[in-house]
Amino acid sequence: MATSTISAGKRPRTGSILLKTVMAVTGVIFVGFILAHMYGNLMIFAGKDSFNEYAHHLREFGTPMLPEKGFLWIMRITLLVSLVLHAASAFLLWSRAGRARTVRYVQRKGEWATFVKRSMRWGGVALLVFVVFHLLHFTTLTINIGGTYDNPADRLVASFGEWWAVLIYLFAIACLGMHLLHGIWSAGMTLGLNTSLDMAERLRLVAILVAVVVVVGFALPPVAIFLGLIP
Amino acid sequence: MKLTLKIWRQNGPEDKGGVVTYPIEGVSEDMSFLEMLDVLNEGLTAKGEEPVAFDSDCREGICGMCGVMINGEAHGPERTTTCQLHMRSFRDGDEIVIEPWRADAFPVIKDLCVDRGSLDRIIQSGGYISANTGSAPDAHATPVPKDDADRAFMAAECIGCGACVAACPNASGMLFMGAKITHLGEFPQGQPERDARVLSMTGQHDEEGFGGCTNLGECSRACPKGIPLNVISQMNGDLLRAQRHRA
């Protein structure tokens, strides 16, 4: 072996692959949270009492090892930090991509890739706006839809009695599905999991499976409530 | 065949440039795309006009010198290089839009010629294996498993034409770089410098102003050599490993 002639190289700014790794890791955290959130939502099918009990239990989870709402706050802080890192990396990469091609093509094919790219970027922005709305709606109770109630289950049922609330949530769920479809694949790519053509197929399959499960699982409660299937 | 060509003309790096329309007749469908451009240029020269500048060298699909955007696709509608694309892939009366690769890391020199020196600088930053000079080592001195050799050869097919960058919505050079890193990283001889290579090359890539990868796969679809997307994932994994080793 000869003496290596590769120098350390210049790396004055945060590498784009590092930013993508941050997005992949925080994205995996979100996928875990979303699956747990979906499971909680489906509790409404076991009755309003089960749903309320579940919501209450979240506040007491881990007590007496943790103070009341301790677990909830650990989750909230983890998610908030992840969200800031995920979105900041995304915007940084978005702006770098814009500067990488300042003169556009006169004619361009690759409609599907362009659609997926937009669904990730603009769909991601839509999700960000939705998260704010969703927190104002069900967490801080700033936005009341269909009246005010003192328990989560009644609030849920009253909200989804309104067609426009159902539409807002279904649109957000569709954005989430598209985001997961490409996001899970992309996270696998970034974390170095796609090492062969077989692995690529498996990654695609996992992404499709999770996206379908999440879309169906999240869409079921609002649709069922709107159709009056929840007593 | 009778065609209408819409070609990007730009008189130099500082010129703003624009699309100029050229009708062309008497094109045979057995001509290669570059031969068709040669016919156009002969006509332009006879009329005393400036011929369209485009790059080409081997014209047999192995050097990576040629490459233009044809109707919005890198190297045109077939999976091959521009020189190996034939006019039978088009129909009589077609309108063909021809543009240079578009990326700020590939500045236009003239018309359809771009400066791909940024790819060379990525290679210079670590896309090689340091070797002592002297007599060649015995071919069987370092055995390489067949699967590794096959994957290395698959990645080594990259001819550095830049179609991946041109096709990428983010003008990223990651397929090119991933191919080189996978190629060298599959060999025992490539191991000692594996970490330094990926750190240095990815740093140079960003320094050149290429965008980041969003894993859409347009690069791999445009690649005349069919380099798969998994070379990018290999590179990402290698970079994570290199950073772990350094920490």
Q: What is the pLDDT of residue A11?
A: 56
Say if residue A5's pLDDT is above 90: no
Contact assessment for residue B215 and residue A188, using Cβ atoms and an 8 Å cutoff: no
Residue B212, chain A, CB below 8 Å: the answer is yes
Mutate to test the interface with B, among A189, A198, A201 (most CBs of B within 10 A): A189
Mean pLDDT value of segment B59-65: 95
Mean pLDDT value of segment B137-149: 90
Contact assessment for residue B214 and residue B156, using Cβ atoms and an 8 Å cutoff: no
| CATH assignment of the domain containing B81 | 3.10.20.30
- Closest-CA distance of chain A to residue B92, Å: 20
Are B123 and B99 part of one and the same domain? no
| CATH assignment of the domain containing B233 | 1.10.1060.10
Torsional class of B93: left (φ above 0), alpha (ψ -120 to 50), beta (otherwise): left
Q: What is the number of other CB atoms lying within 10 angstroms of the CB of residue B180?
A: 25
- Closest-CA distance of chain A to residue B52, Å: 18
Enter the DSSP assignment of B49. P
- Closest-CA distance of chain B to residue A27, Å: 14
Torsional class of B111: left (φ above 0), alpha (ψ -120 to 50), beta (otherwise): left
Q: Mean pLDDT over all residues of chain A?
A: 93
| ipTM at complex level | 0.91
| Higher per-residue confidence, A198 vs A7 | A198
**Residue A198, domain extent:** 17-97+114-226
Are B121 and B242 part of one and the same domain? yes
Structural domain count of chain A: 1
Are B124 and B102 part of one and the same domain? no
Are B232 and B208 part of one and the same domain? yes
The pair of three-digit structure tokens given for residue A25, joined into one six-digit string? 């890791």
**Residue B199, domain extent:** 117-132+139-246
CA distance A5 to B126: 8
Say if residue B169's pLDDT is above 60: yes
pTM for this one?
Answer: 0.93
Mutate to test the interface with A, among B20, B233, B246 (most CBs of A within 10 A): B233
Mutate to test the interface with B, among A106, A117, A122, A196 (most CBs of B within 10 A): A106
Q: What is the number of other CB atoms lying within 10 angstroms of the CB of residue B210?
A: 30
Torsional class of B61: left (φ above 0), alpha (ψ -120 to 50), beta (otherwise): left
Contact assessment for residue B162 and residue B114, using Cβ atoms and an 8 Å cutoff: yes
Contact assessment for residue B173 and residue B205, using Cβ atoms and an 8 Å cutoff: yes
| CATH assignment of the domain containing A39 | 1.20.1300.10
Beta bridge partners, B4, equal B23, B95
At a CB cut-off of 8 Å and minimum separation 6, what does B208 contact? B105, B118, B121, B122, B173
Are B31 and B58 part of one and the same domain? yes
**Chain B residues near residue A107 by CB distance under 8 angstroms:** 69, 71-72, 97, 99
Say if residue B139's pLDDT is above 70: yes
Structural domain count of chain B: 2
Put simply, the chain A residues between 15 and 44 with a CB less than 8 A from any chain B CB are 15-17, 19-21
Q: By mean pLDDT, which of A182-186, A213-217, A226-230, B96-100 is the weakest?
A: A226-230
Say if residue A9's pLDDT is above 70: no
DSSP string, A39-99: HHHHGGGG-HHHHHHHHHHHHHTTTTTS-TTHHHHHHHHHHHHHHHHHHHHHHHHHHHHHH
Q: Which of A9, A13, A192 lies at the smallest CB-CB distance from B125? A: A9
Dihedral sign of CA atoms A50, A54, A60, A64 in order: positive
Contact assessment for residue A156 and residue A41, using Cβ atoms and an 8 Å cutoff: no
Q: How far is CA B240 from CA A15, A195, B37, B109, B124, in A?
A: 12, 14, 46, 37, 22
